[in-house]
Amino acid sequence: MPLTDTAIKNTKPGDKPIKLFDGGGLFLLITPAGQRYWRLKYRVLGKEKLLAIGVYPDVGLKDARGKRDAARKLLANGVDPGEARKAQKIAKVERAANSFEAVAREWFARQAPGWASTHASKIIQRLEKDIFPWLGGRPIAEIAAPELLAVLRRIEGRGALDTAHRAHQNCGQIFRYAVATGRAERDPSGDLRGALQPSKHENFASITDPVRVGELLRAIDAFRGTFVVKCALLLAPLLFVRPGELRSAEWAGFDLDRAEWRYFVTKTKTDHVVPLASQAVAILRELHALTGGGRYVFPGRDPKKPMSEAAVNAALRRMGYDTKTEITGHGFRAMARTILHEELEIKPEVIEHQLAHKVADSLGTAYNRTKFIDARIKMMQAWADYLDQLKAGARIIPGKFGQVA
């Protein structure tokens, strides 16, 4: 006789398990402890098997019959429903392991050790905030271009055009990693070229007029913040390295007797040498008395960590400069590049090597940390002398290495 809900509810647990049969191999197993489990008994190649259907009353009588009928259809087609379920579970686990977020985090873990910590932090935060909530759980192989575009346009819609383009770039890197590791067939991000609004790339704010540079240098001299930050401000125009390289500078890389600073440029994956003018050495020797016992030249509040990446820009704002339109920490590089070439008439290739840029030569794009080193040593001292003259308010006549009138 087919089961009824009334019969199920009226059947009390006994000393031994009780089976209430419904037909077609379906039965309800009632344990002495009162649990009620749906089971389906079937045969494959003459061997009897059991398939778990669910727990009553979460799975009601009607739903249990539906699952029984579905399983019997598989049997009619020569498929073992138990093996089919195992395959589904395996596929589900594989889908989770091959989700966009899982692949992205694997890609990030492999790439991050070669990046600057700030760069790595920005990438993972971008993914966690703008990509994972919508694509993270999706199997990466199933994500198509329109789905990715919808997520990127959500970023674009809030006006963050540069972030949208950077997210597009990161997603492309992740998809290509998935292709290389056999988790996807192709990279759909390539189909989105031209689909986003163009990003407005603006140069870092900088001061390149010699008179205004002199005003800035005098303002730095008058800065009343911490000694560590003031030294960073004094050295920023003298060394014109990237802000992240300056703030994370370590004493181990400095040889003040030889007047040089050596470090690894994470952005270009190259070793770099910065010749130190006598003015820079003097500032560093004075600072060494305060921070030389630690790792970092410019330690932060926690001496085990470098100064905040916002410290220099915050100091410039305290001095009254707008870091969006006048000068930013990165702007000292543009200042040096422009004035060294236009006012001091230094050869561009010498300046570019000192900026740790890759310079195209007869052998292709390359960078050599010691190329033009003699010219660079001379240039760095001339640059420091030139800045001293600007700070003093002298009128400078354009010419090689600067000539004071």
Q: Which of 113-127, 130-144, 264-278 has the highest mean pLDDT?
A: 130-144
> CA neighbours within 13 Å on the CB side: how many for 160?
14
- Selecting among 242, 353, 376, 391, the annotated active-site residue is 242
- CATH-assigned architecture of domain 5-86: 2-Layer Sandwich (3.30)
Backbone dihedral angles phi then psi of residue 21, each to the nearest 5 degrees = -90, 140
Name residues whose C-beta falls within 8 Å of residue 351's C-beta, 6 or more positions apart in sequence.
Answer: 336, 337, 340, 341, 379
Task: Please compute the mean of the pLDDT values over residues 385-399 and round it to a whole number.
Answer: 80
Number of CB atoms found within 10 A of residue 242's CB: 19
pLDDT in tens, 282-294: 999 999 999 999 9
pLDDT in tens, 10-19: 999 999 999 9
CATH 1.10.10.1100 fits 100-192, yes or no: no
pLDDT of residue 269 exceeding 50, the answer is yes
Radius of gyration of the chain (CA): 34
Q: What is the pLDDT of residue 369?
A: 65
Cα–Cα distance measured from residue 266 to residue 174, given in angstroms and rounded to the nearest whole number: 20
Three-class DSSP category at 33? coil
pLDDT of residue 65 exceeding 90, the answer is yes
Residue with tokens 């920023």: 236
Q: What is the pLDDT of residue 404?
A: 37
Number of residues that make up the chain: 405
Annotation says 267 is catalytic: yes
Backbone dihedral angles phi then psi of residue 17, each to the nearest 5 degrees = -55, 140
Cα–Cα distance measured from residue 267 to residue 118, given in angstroms and rounded to the nearest whole number: 11
Task: Please compute the mean of the pLDDT values over residues 277-303 and round it to a whole number.
Answer: 95
Cα–Cα distance measured from residue 304 to residue 238, given in angstroms and rounded to the nearest whole number: 26
* Confidence at 1, pLDDT banded by 50, 70, 90: confident
111 touches 124 (CB < 8 A): no
Query: Residues 71, 83, 44, 54: what is their CA dihedral angle, to the nearest 10 degrees?
Result: -40
Residue with tokens 């395996």: 90
pLDDT of residue 362 exceeding 70, the answer is no
Task: Please compute the mean of the pLDDT values over residues 235-260 and round it to a whole number.
Answer: 95
Cα–Cα distance measured from residue 343 to residue 212, given in angstroms and rounded to the nearest whole number: 14
- Which of the pair, 235 or 112, is modelled with greater confidence? 235
pLDDT of residue 75 exceeding 50, the answer is yes
Q: What is the DSSP letter of 301?
A: S
Q: What is the pLDDT of residue 361?
A: 55
Determine the CATH number of domain 210-404.
1.10.443.10
**Span of 88-92, 161-165, 205-209, 334-338 with lowest mean pLDDT:** 88-92
Annotated domain spans of the chain: 5-86, 100-192, 210-404
- Selecting among 177, 263, 367, 386, the annotated active-site residue is 367
Backbone dihedral angles phi then psi of residue 2, each to the nearest 5 degrees = -60, 150
Backbone dihedral angles phi then psi of residue 52, each to the nearest 5 degrees = -75, 130
pLDDT of residue 402 exceeding 70, the answer is no
Q: What is the pLDDT of residue 367?
A: 55
Q: How far is CA 14 from the centre of its chain?
A: 61
Annotation says 242 is catalytic: yes
Annotation says 126 is catalytic: no
Task: Please compute the mean of the pLDDT values over residues 17-34 and round it to a whole number.
Answer: 92
* Confidence at 113, pLDDT banded by 50, 70, 90: confident
Task: Please compute the mean of the pLDDT values over residues 55-76 and round it to a whole number.
Answer: 91
- Selecting among 333, 337, 353, 376, the annotated active-site residue is 333
pTM here is 0.55
Percentage of the chain lying above the pLDDT 90 cut: 62
What average pLDDT does the chain have?
Answer: 88
User: What is the residue type of 178?
Assistant: A
- Selecting among 67, 168, 330, 353, the annotated active-site residue is 330
Q: What is the pLDDT of residue 359?
A: 62
pLDDT of residue 397 exceeding 60, the answer is no
Q: What is the pLDDT of residue 400?
A: 46
Q: What is the pLDDT of residue 270?
A: 83
* Nearest in space to 53 (alpha carbons), one of 63, 1, 34: 63
78 touches 49 (CB < 8 A): no
pLDDT in tens, 165-216: 999 999 999 999 999 999 899 999 999 988 998 876 556 788 888 989 999 9
Number of CB atoms found within 10 A of residue 156's CB: 20
Three-class DSSP category at 112? helix
pLDDT of residue 363 exceeding 50, the answer is no
Cα–Cα distance measured from residue 53 to residue 169, given in angstroms and rounded to the nearest whole number: 46
Q: What is the pLDDT of residue 399?
A: 52
**Span of 75-79, 113-117, 259-263, 280-284 with lowest mean pLDDT:** 113-117
